[in-house]
Amino acid sequence: MIGVGEAVAAEIASQVEKFVRDIVVPYEKDARRDHHNAPTDELIQELRDKARVAGVLTPHILPDGRHLSQRETAIVLRMTGLSPLGPLACNTNAPDEGNMFLLGRVGSFEIKERFLKPLVVGKARSAFFMTEPAEENGAGSDPSMMRTTAVPDGNHWVINGRKAFITGAHGARIGIVMAKSEDGACMFLVDLPDPAIRIERVPNTIDNSMPGGHAVITIDNLRVPSDQMLGRSGEGFTYAQVRLSPARLSHCMRWLGACQRAHEIATEYANRRHAFGKPLIDHEGVGFMLADNLLDLKQSELMIDWCADVLDSGSLGTVESSMAKVAVSEALMRVADRCVQVMGGTGVTDDTIVEQVFREIRAFRIYDGPTEVHKWSLAKKIKRDWKAAHP
């Protein structure tokens, strides 16, 4: 990935940071929320209109269609993450950012025109239909367990199955549906809503930064034209790998920005709040927690940059993104937890975003692969490498 150079990316990031801090942050108390307390589409579109005027809408994709390198994207997406609303306002949020990356890399001209363009200009949201209900032993962290079927019927495919934890499905206009044909996994692009895709329920979850929640879905005889398949039948897992590592890493980028902001808030609190005759920060128990935050934030930044460089080299970076996802999500959990602790009672209220960041990071340790699944995968690699070295 060629990119535009880190100086240009830094300038874009500076513009994004100013927009998020000056324009987006005041919206954090906006009451336009759904019954899961997620931002409504009305609020999102208002913020995106402002981002469009400020020139920071979809800042990681240039007007000529070029995508920033992963290293450059890290600089920019970190700034969008300074507010839970920042990625939504700037159109760098999940799952849209990952879906845009995938369609930009492997979509046909027709697919890009019909499905990618509305996402890039911030006029539509999307959903990625892969995970399936655990009670049916469907695909979760192991996509090879996929039970949703795709059967050819003339110049169409007929898809049936159930999906779970489909982020943003409610209100999405574009869907990428994974199903299994006789050849293997397939990906299909669909317009939403579609009567054949029924939302059973949207469970309340610990996080609420993503509009539409994480829905449970029934797909009942969904008919999709053959030219809306991404690539060929059986290539779905290959395309999933194209999306997987950058999407994992962009989560790390955004939540690093969120934890940076939480640390700023906790630092402000610790310097202004007095207890036992001196500012809280002068008590080692508090000051050392903030010092530990600096260590975890910097280590997370370096881990992200390292993985981004691997991806920019052309590698799929599957192992490296697993390592980054584990290291960064666990480090940021420690940061968010310390921020809550430093702020005491105030830290568990919604007076600041610290409480929300704590909840969001807790969820991040599970989605895009739980820590334990990534460690298991890394352990298997260690075994393979050992066997290769000891034939």
For the chain, give percent helix, strand, coil, nearest 5.
Answer: 55, 15, 30
The C-alpha atoms of residue 282 and residue 284 are separated, in whole angstroms, by 6
Do residues 24 and 17 make contact, with C-beta atoms less than 8 angstroms apart?
A: no
Q: What token pair was written down for 285?
A: 């128990």
Q: Which residue, among 144, 120, 121, 123, has the nearest Cα to 132 in the 3D structure?
A: 144
Residue reference for tokens 């959903």: 127
The C-alpha atoms of residue 308 and residue 356 are separated, in whole angstroms, by 27
Confidence of residue 5 (pLDDT cuts 50, 70, 90): confident
Greater confidence, 368 or 125? 125
**380 phi and psi, to 5 degrees?**
-65, -40
Confidence of residue 139 (pLDDT cuts 50, 70, 90): confident
What single-letter DSSP state applies at residue 133?
-
237-384 topology per CATH: Butyryl-CoA Dehydrogenase, subunit A; domain 3 (1.20.140)
User: Helix (H, G, I), strand (E, B), or coil: what is residue 28?
Assistant: helix
Residue 171 confidence (pLDDT): 95
The C-alpha atoms of residue 279 and residue 269 are separated, in whole angstroms, by 9
pLDDT tens digits, residue range 171-227? 999 999 999 999 999 999 999 999 999 999 999 999 999 999 999 999 999 999 999
Do residues 254 and 78 make contact, with C-beta atoms less than 8 angstroms apart?
A: yes
Percent of the chain with pLDDT over 90: 91
Ranges 83-92, 102-111, 292-301: which has the least confidence: 102-111
Residue 30 confidence (pLDDT): 97
Q: What token pair was written down for 147?
A: 């039970």
* Domain locations along the chain: 6-93, 127-233, 237-384
pLDDT tens digits, residue range 41-87? 999 999 999 999 999 999 999 888 889 999 999 999 999 999 999 99
Confidence of residue 2 (pLDDT cuts 50, 70, 90): low
Over residues 127-156, the mean pLDDT reads 90
Greater confidence, 391 or 120? 120
Confidence of residue 283 (pLDDT cuts 50, 70, 90): very high
Do residues 342 and 271 make contact, with C-beta atoms less than 8 angstroms apart?
A: no
Tell me what the pLDDT averaged over the chain comes to.
Answer: 95
Please name the residues in contact with 271: beta carbons below 8 A apart, sequence gap of 6 or more.
279, 280, 281
Confidence of residue 349 (pLDDT cuts 50, 70, 90): very high
The C-alpha atoms of residue 260 and residue 344 are separated, in whole angstroms, by 18
- Per CATH, 127-233 and 237-384 having the same topology is answered no
Residue 143 confidence (pLDDT): 79
User: Helix (H, G, I), strand (E, B), or coil: what is residue 126?
Assistant: strand
The DSSP-derived string for 72-93 is HHHHHHHHHTTSTTHHHHHT--
Q: Which CATH class is domain 6-93?
A: mainly alpha
Residue 63 confidence (pLDDT): 86
Residue reference for tokens 């090879």: 144
What is the CATH number assigned to the segment(s) 127-233? Answer: 2.40.110.10
Do residues 217 and 208 make contact, with C-beta atoms less than 8 angstroms apart?
A: no
Q: Answer yes or no: is pLDDT of 354 > 80.
A: yes
Residue 222 confidence (pLDDT): 98
Please name the residues in contact with 322: beta carbons below 8 A apart, sequence gap of 6 or more.
248, 369, 374, 377, 378
The C-alpha atoms of residue 61 and residue 72 are separated, in whole angstroms, by 11
Residue 140 confidence (pLDDT): 78
Residue 144 confidence (pLDDT): 82
Bridge-based pairing state of the strands 126-129 and 174-181: parallel
Q: Answer yes or no: is pLDDT of 1 > 70.
A: no
Residue 352 confidence (pLDDT): 98
